[in-house]
């Protein structure tokens, strides 16, 4: 009985010890986790503009015949400026509460497609788009950019070289919603629900943090944008977004008619 009692006491000491160690390390673990999350978010936001800066600087440094490539150089320099501004804006506005505004989704989308054209071209991917004119939404422009950029960047990143990325923007039948779809003919996705979880990644070849779609989902949930994903492994994926449209007010209508 004494031996049994001794063993029970020993086991209790062991269990108590473990829980003390666990509770002592927990605040540190939590702090470390949040620091990592913050760091990864920051890294993710800077990844795309820095990547484009890098591509353009590389192109400029390789061009030895400036006259032949003047147009290309001008575009590269313009993109370097835009991306520099984007990084600067991100750093300055990190703490500012985001405000919403009326945005012409049609022209905004066109400008984002133009922005990604060079990256797509470097993989011999063609971006084809059908965009209905004058579709307005009411949201924060930086957040809209995050939704479009993350989805479009993924479509290019996970596409096969020399394939197409197809983008469609149109109003639904009742003209209440804007329907945006971004379709690729790439590797496809096994588990379309899991990819929206933080740090979730299926891909093992390309680099990434598994954060982009989680950010997209957070923004969409907040703004009532419905997301749906259809995908077939080895055939490609379509990401669709349903935005509530901005109801045009009287004054807007006059402005619109101009």
Q: Is 211 in the site for ligand ADP (CB under 6 A)?
A: yes
Q: Which residue, 116 or 246, has its beta carbon nearer to ligand ADP?
A: 116
Among 210, 219, 241, 246, binds ligand ADP (CB under 6 A): 210
Is-contact 67 47, C-beta < 8 A?
A: no
Among 178, 212, 220, 246, binds ligand ADP (CB under 6 A): 212
Among 115, 136, 158, 246, binds ligand ADP (CB under 6 A): 158
* Cβ-proximal residues to 247 (8 Å cutoff; 6+ apart), any chain: none
| Residue found by looking up tokens 């923004």 in the block | 219
Contact set for ligand ADP, span 213-232 (CB under 6 A) = 213-214
Q: Which residue, 104 or 200, has its beta carbon nearer to ligand ADP?
A: 200
Q: Is 152 in the site for ligand ADP (CB under 6 A)?
A: no
CA of residue 66 relative to chain centroid, distance: 35
Q: Is 181 in the site for ligand ADP (CB under 6 A)?
A: no
Q: Which residue, 69 or 90, has its beta carbon nearer to ligand ADP?
A: 90
Instruction: Choose one: 26-34, 101-109, 136-144, 150-158; the region binding ligand ADP (CB under 6 A).
Output: 150-158
- The least distance separating ligand ADP from the CB of residue 103, rounded to whole angstroms, comes to 22
- The least distance separating ligand ADP from the CB of residue 116, rounded to whole angstroms, comes to 13
Q: Which residue, 56 or 154, has its beta carbon nearer to ligand ADP?
A: 154
Q: Is 149 in the site for ligand ADP (CB under 6 A)?
A: no
Site string for ligand ADP, 66-105 (x = CB under 6 A): ----------------------------------------
Q: Which residue, 79 or 157, has its beta carbon nearer to ligand ADP?
A: 157
Exposure on the CB side of residue 88, measured as CA atoms within 13 A: 6
Q: Is 209 in the site for ligand ADP (CB under 6 A)?
A: yes
Which residues form the interface with ligand ADP (CB under 6 A)? Answer: 150, 154-155, 158, 184, 186-189, 195, 200-203, 208-214, 237
């Amino acid at each position: 009985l004494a031996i049994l009692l001794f063993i029970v006491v020993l086991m209790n000491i062991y269990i108590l010890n473990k829980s003390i160690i666990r509770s002592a390390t927990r605040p540190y673990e939590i702090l470390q986790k949040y620091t990592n999350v913050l760091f990864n978010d920051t890294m993710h936001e800077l990844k795309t503009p820095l990547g484009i800066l890098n591509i353009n600087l590389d192109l400029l440094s390789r061009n030895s015949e400036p006259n032949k490539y003047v147009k290309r150089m001008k575009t590269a320099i313009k993109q370097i400026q835009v991306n520099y501004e984007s990084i600067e804006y991100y750093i300055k506005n990190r703490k500012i509460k985001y405000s919403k505004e009326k945005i012409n989704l049609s022209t905004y989308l066109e400008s984002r497609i133009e922005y990604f054209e060079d990256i797509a071209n470097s993989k011999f991917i063609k971006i084809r788009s059908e965009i209905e004119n004058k579709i307005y939404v009411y949201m924060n422009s930086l957040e809209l950019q995050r939704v479009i950029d993350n989805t479009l960047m993924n479509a290019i990143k996970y596409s096969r070289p020399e394939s197409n990325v197809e983008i469609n923007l149109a109003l639904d039948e009742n003209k209440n919603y804007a329907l945006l779809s971004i379709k690729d003919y790439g590797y496809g996705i096994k588990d379309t629900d899991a990819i929206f979880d933080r740090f979730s990644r299926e891909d093992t070849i390309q680099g990434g943090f598994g954060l982009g779609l989680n950010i997209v989902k957070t923004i969409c949930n907040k703004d009532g944008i419905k997301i749906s994903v259809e995908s077939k492994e080895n055939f490609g994926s379509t990401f669709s977004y349903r935005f509530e449209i901005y109801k045009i007010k009287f004054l807007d209508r006059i402005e619109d008619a101009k």
